[in-house]
Structure 1
Amino acid sequence: MGEAPRPREHILCLLPIPEDPKILNRLRRKYDVEFTYKQVITGAGEPEIPDETWLNATILETKIPITNSSGVHGPQISEWVILQILSHSHKEKIMVEWQKKHIWGSSKELGALRDSVGQRLGVLGYGAIGRQAARISKAMGMDVIAYTASPRPTPESRKDTGKYIVPNTGDPDGLIPSAWYSGLDKSSLHNFLSQDIDILLIAVPLTPQTRHFLSAPEFEILGSKTNAFIINIARGGLINQEDLITYLKKPLSAGGLRGAALDVTEPEPLPADSELWTLENVAITPHVSGLGTTYAERSFAILDENLGNLERGRNLINLVDRKKGY
Structure 2
Amino acid sequence: MPVSAGQDPISVAVLHGGETPPGLDGAVGDARLRLAATPDELATVLPGCEVLLTWDFTSDAVKQVWDATDTSALRWVHTASAGVDRVAFPALLGSGATLTNSRGVFDRPMAEFVLGAVIAFAKDTARSLALQRERTWRHRETENVAGTVATVVGSGPIGRAVAELLGAVGMRVRLVGRRAAEGVHAFDELPGLLPDTDYLVLAAPLTDDTRGMLHTGTIALLPERARVVNVGRGPLVVQDDLTGALATGRIAGAALDVFEVEPLPADSPLWTMENVLLSPHMSGDVVGWKDMLVALFADNLARFRDGRELRNVVDPERGYVSTGGNQ
The answer to whether TM tops 0.5 is yes
Q: Is it true that 1:292 corresponds to 2:294 in the alignment?
A: no
**For residue 240 of structure 1, what is the aligned residue in structure 2?**
238
**For residue 309 of structure 2, what is the aligned residue in structure 1?**
315
User: 19, 33, 47: which is aligned to 1:36?
Assistant: 33
2:223 counterpart SS class: helix
**For residue 10 of structure 2, what is the aligned residue in structure 1?**
9
Q: Is it true that 1:86 corresponds to 2:119 in the alignment?
A: yes
CA displacement at 1:298 relative to structure 2:
2.0
Q: Residue type of the partner of 2:180?
A: P
CA displacement at 1:35 relative to structure 2:
4.0
Distance in 1 of aligned mates of 2:262 and 2:14? 26
1:244 counterpart SS class: helix
**For residue 20 of structure 1, what is the aligned residue in structure 2?**
22
Distance in 1 of aligned mates of 2:58 and 2:302? 37
Distance in 1 of aligned mates of 2:285 and 2:262? 17
Q: What's the TM-score, normalizing by structure 1?
A: 0.74
**For residue 126 of structure 1, what is the aligned residue in structure 2?**
155
Aligned residues of 2:199 and 2:229 also touching (Cα < 8 A): yes
CA displacement at 1:209 relative to structure 2:
2.2
**For residue 99 of structure 1, what is the aligned residue in structure 2?**
132
**For residue 212 of structure 1, what is the aligned residue in structure 2?**
212
Distance in 2 of aligned mates of 1:250 and 1:145? 27
CA displacement at 1:248 relative to structure 2:
1.9
Aligned residues of 1:89 and 1:115 also touching (Cα < 8 A): yes
Q: Residue type of the partner of 2:275?
A: N
Q: Residue type of the partner of 1:10?
A: S
Q: Residue type of the partner of 2:191?
A: H
2:112 counterpart SS class: helix
Residue correspondences, number:
276
1:222 counterpart SS class: coil
1:129 counterpart SS class: helix
CA displacement at 1:10 relative to structure 2:
3.0
Distance in 1 of aligned mates of 2:263 and 2:14? 27
CA displacement at 1:52 relative to structure 2:
8.4
Q: Is it true that 1:277 corresponds to 2:271 in the alignment?
A: yes
| Residue range with higher mean Cα deviation, 94-103 or 12-21 | 12-21
Distance in 1 of aligned mates of 2:222 and 2:159? 19
**For residue 261 of structure 2, what is the aligned residue in structure 1?**
267
Q: Residue type of the partner of 1:79?
A: E
Q: Residue type of the partner of 2:153?
A: L
Q: Residue type of the partner of 2:93?
A: I
Distance in 2 of aligned mates of 1:76 and 1:305? 21
**For residue 325 of structure 1, what is the aligned residue in structure 2?**
319
CA displacement at 1:48 relative to structure 2:
8.2
Distance in 1 of aligned mates of 2:103 and 2:274? 33
**For residue 162 of structure 1, what is the aligned residue in structure 2?**
none
Q: Residue type of the partner of 1:232?
A: N
| Residue range with higher mean Cα deviation, 262-271 or 141-150 | 262-271
What are the ranges of 5 or more consecutive residues in structure 2 without an aligned counterpart?
1-6, 39-55, 68-86, 321-327
CA displacement at 1:235 relative to structure 2:
1.8
Q: Aligned pair in 2 of structure 1 residues 149, 220: CA closer, same or farther (>3 Å)?
A: same
2:260 counterpart SS class: coil
| Deviation by residue 1:218-246 (Cα, 9 ceiling, x = unmatched) | 1111126xx21100112221112222123
Q: Residue type of the partner of 2:313?
A: L
Q: Is it true that 1:142 corresponds to 2:171 in the alignment?
A: yes
Q: Aligned pair in 2 of structure 1 residues 269, 9: CA closer, same or farther (>3 Å)?
A: closer
| Deviation by residue 1:244-282 (Cα, 9 ceiling, x = unmatched) | 12322344xxxx211101111222232333222232111
CA displacement at 1:202 relative to structure 2:
0.3
CA displacement at 1:27 relative to structure 2:
4.3
| Residue range with higher mean Cα deviation, 140-149 or 270-279 | 270-279
Aligned residues of 2:13 and 2:36 also touching (Cα < 8 A): no
User: 248, 252, 263: which is aligned to 1:258?
Assistant: 252
| Deviation by residue 1:73-127 (Cα, 9 ceiling, x = unmatched) | 2222222212211111111112112222233x121xx3x3112111121110022
Root-mean-square deviation (CA, aligned residues, Å) is 2.9
**For residue 200 of structure 2, what is the aligned residue in structure 1?**
200
Aligned residues of 2:115 and 2:162 also touching (Cα < 8 A): yes
1:85 counterpart SS class: helix
Q: Residue type of the partner of 1:133?
A: V
1:77 counterpart SS class: helix
Distance in 2 of aligned mates of 1:220 and 1:205? 23
Q: Aligned pair in 2 of structure 1 residues 180, 135: CA closer, same or farther (>3 Å)?
A: same
Distance in 2 of aligned mates of 1:229 and 1:134? 16
CA displacement at 1:69 relative to structure 2:
0.9
Distance in 2 of aligned mates of 1:7 and 1:237? 40
Superposition map of 1:132-171 within 5 A: 132-153=161-182
Identity rate of aligned residues, in percent?
A: 29
Q: Residue type of the partner of 1:266?
A: E
What are the ranges of 5 or more consecutive residues in structure 1 without an aligned counterpart?
1-5, 154-178
